[in-house]
Chains A and B, each alone.
Chain A
Amino acid sequence: MLCLLGFSTQAQDFKDSLRIAGFENVQIVEAHDSIKVFFEHREFRNPYYSMRFAGLVVNTKSLEETEDVSYIPVYHNIPIGKYNSEDYEYSVLNKDEKEFYNRQNEVFKNYRFSIRIHPEVISRFGFYSDPFQTKFNLNLDTRIYIARGLSVQTGIAVPIVNNLDNQSLQLRPAPSMVHYFNQPWNYNFIAASVGSFYNNRYGLDLEYRHADLSKRWSYGVAGGITGFYWFNGMNLYNEPMDDLYLTADVEYRLPIENLNLKLTAGQFLYKDKGVRLDLIKQFAAAEIGLFASATNAGTTTGFQFAFSLFPGKIIRTRKLEVRTTEEFRWEYTYNNVDPVGQNFRLGMPRLSDVLRQYNQHFLHSL
């Protein structure tokens, strides 16, 4: 009994320290020779750093050498997998761990109110009269969890500059959606979103991905039915939801310096059928990709990059957090006249971009 009490106070101590360090939904399972730490850390894009951070916090609390530590990072309220603290080896959660998490996962109590600063930059180069046309908005949004894996993302968009089109500089609603994320069976992930998205699309978006995070292969399908919308201040204009996209992709992690090859085929936005090949390099702090697409609409090449914005945390108290976005992504297409192989952005990373970060080969290389 005394012994159990000792464990629970230590666990409580860990939980408090982790919460102060910015972790949310922290749950700790302690046995006599092991400790498992569930947590969500929304500020960091790369889970390697949230695990390293958790390790530092826990280790400074005088862990015994013999204790075996594993981390269970949670993304959008769903545990992704279990990682050994020694070499980031991935394994799936067992039944007890899942049940423990579900019991402890109190979505209203375990999270801060998190305000995210998420810039949006849309540029078009090359027109002679105005070679650098840019629209720049600062989107202030939040994600509130309402049930296991279910969340609402909403906020306001603060337009800063616009010499691209005639959208007004009045405040307008930021892309807002209801989002559901889950791992119903091991290695199988689903994400569903309903609402307004980036790139002026609104409607429904579904993604499924099979990814054993200890393997090099993963594949997925994505589809959605969307329409065009446009806010001028609070005035909404929208067109019918009648554009269907449906794509399938296969991704392979090359055994070369964190390079990934991804082949996507199907019907893209604007009923454009074709293929797109991505070469994606993962760095610890960023992702840089090259791509080439060939569709009915034509061919194009381009690049994209994604990184967390500096400085990350701005304000953090027990109940509130203001931070910069965990992922700013930007894509440049050489062919900027015809939309070739286009898709829209949701306002959160897509499944393949999320799960690529959790691959054990990547984490092990860092």
Chain B
Amino acid sequence: MTFKSFFLFFSLLLALLYFNKSKAQINIMGKPGYMITPSADWLEGQPLGFTFSYIPSEYSKNILFTPRITTENTPLNFYNVRATLTSFFEVNLSIAYRPEINNKIGVGDRQLDFRFRLLKEKEFWPSIVLGWTPPGSDSPVLAHDYLVATKHLNTTFGNFSTSLGYGSPYVFSKKRTGKFLDLKVQKKNELYGEQYLSGFYGAFSYMPVNFAGIMVEYDTQTMNAGAFIKVKDWLYLQAYTFEGKEIAFTTSLNFSLNFAPHTLRRYEKKLD
């Protein structure tokens, strides 16, 4: 073993040992993830998130296909709220808004779903998250259920993360009886023609510095690539392309909810 390869091997080992809190960026629907796909990351210490995302008209039907209302392709916006209630349970609320045709669809489709962290990331184990959309919606057009594993590798030349997931191609649809839990299981693409997160997906990101990174993913339909920047601890911006053709972006704000009232913080500052 030459000195150089020994050094590389040794620094890689050392890099594996310093294992810090995962810093996650956020996907289109406000969940820890990449661009379109969710990951198994967990935002520690920031239980509240607000995310806005823009998807160009050409690719909007990949996420939300609504031929029953309109076949027009128009830009799609997502407004998302995320609340992490425990270290293993998270709730997400999304509103899919099409500003150009709001007179036809109103505020848009609403989506409520949960994320469960089944496994925390360990030195050699990935974190595993189960995403679940509770059945019962009248039009579960945004419903997605998935299992995803994410592993981080923090090295001296940057932080890598990779995810592999599987999204269920089935959805619970409501029978027309109007009863709350009168459900049947249907294939997503047979019900509405939805394709979002049906099948295997994978993603990879690299942060050469602690405030920015690049990423690439296969979201079950297209290959997407982009970059993100951490402007503040609580503010992430990202821009990416669908198949190198159209540009989309996401802005995400994430906050702590364990802080003292303003008056008390000011008093404590004065004491120091």
Which A positions have Cβ atoms within 8 angstroms of B? 21-22, 43-44, 46, 49, 52-53, 56, 60, 125-129, 131-132, 256-257, 259, 279, 281, 283-286, 288, 290, 294, 299, 301, 303, 308, 310-313, 334, 366
Cβ-defined contact, B262 with A310, below 8 A = yes
Query: Which residues of chain A come closer than 8 Å to B95, judged between CB atoms?
Result: 125
Complex Cα spacing A214 to B211, Å: 45
Interface residues in B206-238 by Cβ distance below 8 A to A read: none
Within 8 Å by CB of A128, from B83, B106, B260, lies: B106
B125 interfacial by beta-carbon distance below 8 Å:
no
Query: Which residues of chain A come closer than 8 Å to B87, judged between CB atoms?
Result: 257
B97 — nearest CB in chain A belongs to which residue?
Answer: A131
Cβ-defined contact, A288 with B83, below 8 A = yes
CB of B62, distance to nearest CB on chain A (Å): 24
Q: Which of B8-16, B144-152, B264-272 contacts A (4 or more CB under 8 A)?
A: B264-272
Provide the main secondary structure of the chain B interface: mixed
Query: Which residues of chain B come closer than 8 Å to A129, judged between CB atoms?
Result: 103
B248 interfacial by beta-carbon distance below 8 Å:
no
Q: From known contacts A127-B106, A128-B102, infer whether A283 and B47 are also in contact, taking CB-CB under 8 Å.
A: yes
CB of B41, distance to nearest CB on chain A (Å): 19
B112 interfacial by beta-carbon distance below 8 Å:
yes
Complex Cα spacing A53 to B265, Å: 10
Complex Cα spacing A60 to B267, Å: 12
Q: A22-B263, A49-B264 are in contact. List 14 more A-B contacts (CB 8 A).
A: A126-B106, A128-B103, A128-B106, A131-B102, A131-B107, A257-B85, A281-B83, A285-B259, A286-B48, A288-B48, A290-B91, A310-B262, A311-B262, A311-B263
Complex Cα spacing A283 to B107, Å: 30
CB of A201, distance to nearest CB on chain B (Å): 27
Interface core residue of B93, B95, B261, B263 (most chain A CB under 10 Å) = B261
Cβ-defined contact, B86 with A281, below 8 A = yes
B107 — nearest CB in chain A belongs to which residue?
Answer: A131
Cβ-defined contact, A52 with B260, below 8 A = yes
Complex Cα spacing A43 to B259, Å: 15
A310 — nearest CB in chain B belongs to which residue?
Answer: B262
Complex Cα spacing A238 to B96, Å: 39
CB of B85, distance to nearest CB on chain A (Å): 4
Cβ-defined contact, A131 with B106, below 8 A = yes
Q: From known contacts A303-B91, A308-B261, infer whether A128 and B85 are also in contact, taking CB-CB under 8 Å.
A: no
Complex Cα spacing A127 to B87, Å: 37
B102 — nearest CB in chain A belongs to which residue?
Answer: A131
Complex Cα spacing A52 to B264, Å: 9
